[in-house]
Homo-oligomer: A and B are copies of this chain.
């Protein structure tokens, strides 16, 4: 991809992220994203084809950075339980910021609940499956049994904590989730 094209694409995606994550998918128009990116609507369509594909591209661009953020929060030291405890503590701290608006993938799933085949839902599914795989591999490396069901339980705790905190803006739900994770992983 030529340098200019890449820059344009990245700037449109940054504007899309700010508005889709900050406000919502259906509340924000391609016009608003074009204006924020300082590009014409035609340029946005040239690069992304449709609003639906732009929504999918916005989530795709969040995939790796989101997983890497949680991995960084967890760190490499200690048992899986200890790393999850750290991760939930950092998540609880993050949720206090007014710019934090929960999980973009979960919110997209909710907004697009009537379109289960939307390209963004496929990206969201792949993201969560990838996140779950990371948990499962860590559990397996530590010698847990039933790593599949344990990893699913941890995904439930992470998304549940995020959801409760978006509603109540109260980090104690992350602490409660961390405690449930400890109980779940107890031998």
A residues contacting B by CB (< 8 A) are 22-24, 26-27, 101-102, 105-107, 109-114, 116, 121, 124-125, 128-129, 149-150, 152-153, 155-161, 163-164, 166-169, 172-173, 175-177, 179-181, 183-184, 186
Given A111-B110, A124-B167, A156-B164, also A180-B173 (CB < 8 A): no
Minimal beta-carbon separation of A84 from chain B (angstroms): 12
Per DSSP, are chain A's interface residues mostly helix, strand or loop, or mixed? helix
Q: Closest chain B residue to A22 by CB distance?
A: B114
User: This chain: how many copies in the complex?
Assistant: 2
Sort A-B residue pairs by CB-CB distance and give the 7 closest, nearest first.
A160-B160, A156-B160, A152-B176, A107-B110, A153-B176, A183-B183, A101-B113
- The one of B24, B124, B125, B155 in contact with A173, judged by C-beta atoms closer than 8 angstroms, is B155
Q: Which residues of chain B are within 8 angstroms of A125 by Cβ–Cβ distance? A: 167-168
Q: Which residues of chain B are within 8 angstroms of A106 by Cβ–Cβ distance? A: 110, 163, 167
Q: Which residues of chain B are within 8 angstroms of A121 by Cβ–Cβ distance? A: 167
Contact of B164 with A128 in the complex, beta carbons under 8 Å: yes
- The one of B107, B116, B179 in contact with A153, judged by C-beta atoms closer than 8 angstroms, is B179
Mind listing 5 A-B residue pairs with CB under 8 Å? A23-B114, A107-B113, A110-B111, A159-B163, A160-B163
Contact of B152 with A173 in the complex, beta carbons under 8 Å: yes
Q: Which residues of chain B are within 8 angstroms of A26 by Cβ–Cβ distance? A: 24, 26-27, 111
Q: Which residues of chain B are within 8 angstroms of A27 by Cβ–Cβ distance? A: 26, 111, 114
Q: Closest chain B residue to A128 by CB distance?
A: B167
- The one of B101, B128, B156 in contact with A157, judged by C-beta atoms closer than 8 angstroms, is B156
